Amino acid sequence: MTEHTLTVAGVAVDTRHWIGGRRVASTETFTDVSPIDGGTIGEISRGTAPEAAAAVAAAKAAFPAWAATSRAERARILHAIADGVEKRIEELSIVETTDNGALLRSHRRGVMPRVAHNFRFFADWLLQMEHEDFETRGHTNHVSWDPAGPSVLITPWNAPLMLATWKVAPALAAGNTVVLKPAEWSPLTASLLADIAAEAGLPAGVLNVVQGYGSEIGDALTSHPDVRRISFTGSVPTAQRIAGSAAANLTPLSLELGGKSPLLVFADADLDLAVDLAVEQYDNAGQVCLAATRFLVEESVAEEFTRRFVEKAATLTQGDPRHEATDIGPNIHPRQLEKIDAFVQRALAAGARAVIGGHRNDTQYYAPTLLTDVAQDSEIVQEEVFGPVLTLQTFSTEDEAVRLANDTRFGLAATLATGDPERAERVTAQLVAGTVWVNCFFVRDLQAPFGGSRHSGVGREGGTWSFDFYCDVKNTVTAPNGWKNHG
């Protein structure tokens, strides 16, 4: 081991940046803390403008060769990266659980296999990407997807590697080179990804990983004139700052900014299913952008729904995320815990009632909370908490349910529980959301478009939509009989 290597649960992790195919240290560091116990994991290289410039320069230098690499070869390397992920699922899982506090069992069984799938899906999608030629007055139109250039990808802390590779995989498949900036609260698996990609044969400079604070290295990356795409997942205020930086260079943006999604429960719903869907919103300690945090329940079943919900929630086990029996782990950071508690205490002071929870369980853990007696225009209903805090309101008519569901500045997702397919069709057609689930939750297919409306984001990614973003889509029009002098 070297001074730049941490041992995290027996796994060696390099704390330096990965730039141009080599490790680069910064003179300054920042402290990475585990949310499990608040203990220090280690010191991580803290990049600033020089590291940002070096990473973009490396990506720019590597771009021509990678863009010219055949689709088949790019796909082969992406599959090799997926192979590397699968060989290291246990290591990636324990490191990520230590770093961000999400359940170890979830990482092993779902999250890390999904990381490998991200690479495999976009490798395969790349090989079948085509648009049928079409004719215009005898002229042939041919649509193609040209690599756009160096791409800056800024990713969040709630599902660090899965959400990073959701961006990295299509960007690389498209022929772009990448500078990945992971969240400073969960940087470790991005470093391991750099190792895996290098071992898979990804050329130097095609993937670069830089660590640090958004206000330092992030700003330097998003304002760089050589960056041709920026994809960001995070908060609205940060997205507004990024958009301002990108505006000077007209750099295209894809922004996924969280939400305040509703769960609509109608009286004709299967209440057991509705309760199961409702309790699922505590997944990842409530740190899920898609979570349906606002329960809108028809008045006639609200009391019964609440009773069953409380009974079901009481069966959840909160504690160490490394334990198999744990259902809810810690929140990511003391600052986030303070933010969550402040939301709840302000709501209680304003007249809300805590049916369950409403308090911390420990310095790192917030009790699963359900608040009622909340006004539609209240902060707790309108603003994203990003913790295990849910609200419950009632409605009497379908129109009222739709009105309440749409009455926020967000529009990322919505979930609907009903036994009436005609009602489902009517209501989903009126909901403002990028994704709507009917009698299910969190069913995600990578070929589907993903993104949000209003303040939940700009653009869509997934399947062909990802390539539309990461590429310059070109139409070539060829005249008929234009080859008479050929040969």
- pLDDT per residue over 157-210, tens digit each? 999 999 999 999 999 999 999 999 999 999 999 999 999 999 999 999 999 999
Per DSSP bridges, beta strands 389-395 and 178-181 are: unpaired
Burial pattern 337-354, b for ≥16 Cβ within 10 A else e, equals beebbebbeebbeeebeb
Which element (helix H / strand E) includes 190?
helix 188-199
pLDDT tens for each residue of 367-411: 999 999 999 999 999 999 999 999 999 999 999 999 999 999 999
Q: Is the pLDDT of residue 2 over 90?
A: no
- What is the pLDDT, as a whole number, of residue 363? 76
Q: Is the pLDDT of residue 485 over 70?
A: no
C-alpha pair distances (Å), 336 with each of 224, 287, 292: 30, 10, 19
Which element (helix H / strand E) includes 394?
strand 389-395
Residue position matching structure tokens 């756009």: 148
Distance separating alpha carbons of residues 112 and 110, to the nearest angstrom? 6
Token pair for residue 236?
Answer: 């609205």
- What is the pLDDT, as a whole number, of residue 483? 73
Average pLDDT score over residue span 315-335: 96
Distance separating alpha carbons of residues 115 and 102, to the nearest angstrom? 15
Catalytic residue among 96, 289, 298, 471: 289
Domain 262-438 class, CATH top level: alpha beta
Average pLDDT score over residue span 302-327: 97
Q: Is 440 a catalytic residue?
A: no
Instruction: Single out the residue of 410, 417, 416 nearest to residue 433, CA to CA.
Output: 410
Residue position matching structure tokens 């397919």: 421
At 438, the pLDDT band (50, 70, 90 cuts) reads very high
Q: Is 256 a catalytic residue?
A: yes
- What is the pLDDT, as a whole number, of residue 259? 94
Share of the chain above pLDDT 70, in %: 99
**What are the domain boundaries of the chain?**
5-257+452-475, 262-438
- What is the pLDDT, as a whole number, of residue 118? 98
- What is the pLDDT, as a whole number, of residue 487? 57
Q: What is the DSSP letter of 203?
A: P
Instruction: Single out the residue of 311, 309, 380 nearest to residue 351, CA to CA.
Output: 380
Question: Mean pLDDT across the chain, nearest whole number?
Answer: 96
At 3, the pLDDT band (50, 70, 90 cuts) reads confident
Length of the chain measured in residues: 487
Q: Is the pLDDT of residue 466 over 60?
A: yes
Average pLDDT score over residue span 147-163: 97
Percent helix, percent strand, percent coil in the chain, to nearest 5:
40, 20, 35
Catalytic residue among 96, 216, 256, 298: 256
Distance separating alpha carbons of residues 419 and 301, to the nearest angstrom? 14
At 486, the pLDDT band (50, 70, 90 cuts) reads low
Distance separating alpha carbons of residues 190 and 160, to the nearest angstrom? 8
pTM for the whole thing? 0.95
Q: Provide CB contacts within 8 A for 387, sequence distance 6+.
A: 285, 286, 287, 331, 336, 337, 339, 340, 343, 366
Average pLDDT score over residue span 75-80: 98
Q: Is the pLDDT of residue 1 over 70?
A: no
Distance separating alpha carbons of residues 125 and 75, to the nearest angstrom? 9
Distance separating alpha carbons of residues 322 and 103, to the nearest angstrom? 6
Which element (helix H / strand E) includes 301?
helix 299-313
At 453, the pLDDT band (50, 70, 90 cuts) reads very high
- What is the pLDDT, as a whole number, of residue 276? 98
- What is the pLDDT, as a whole number, of residue 258? 87
- The answer to whether the Cα torsion of 105, 110, 111, 117 is positive or negative is positive
Q: Is the pLDDT of residue 337 over 70?
A: yes
**370 conformational bin, left if phi > 0, alpha if psi -120 to 50, beta if neither:** beta
Q: Provide CB contacts within 8 A for 191, sequence distance 6+.
A: 13, 14, 15, 16, 18, 209, 211
Token pair for residue 329?
Answer: 């782990």
5-257+452-475 carries CATH number 3.40.605.10: yes
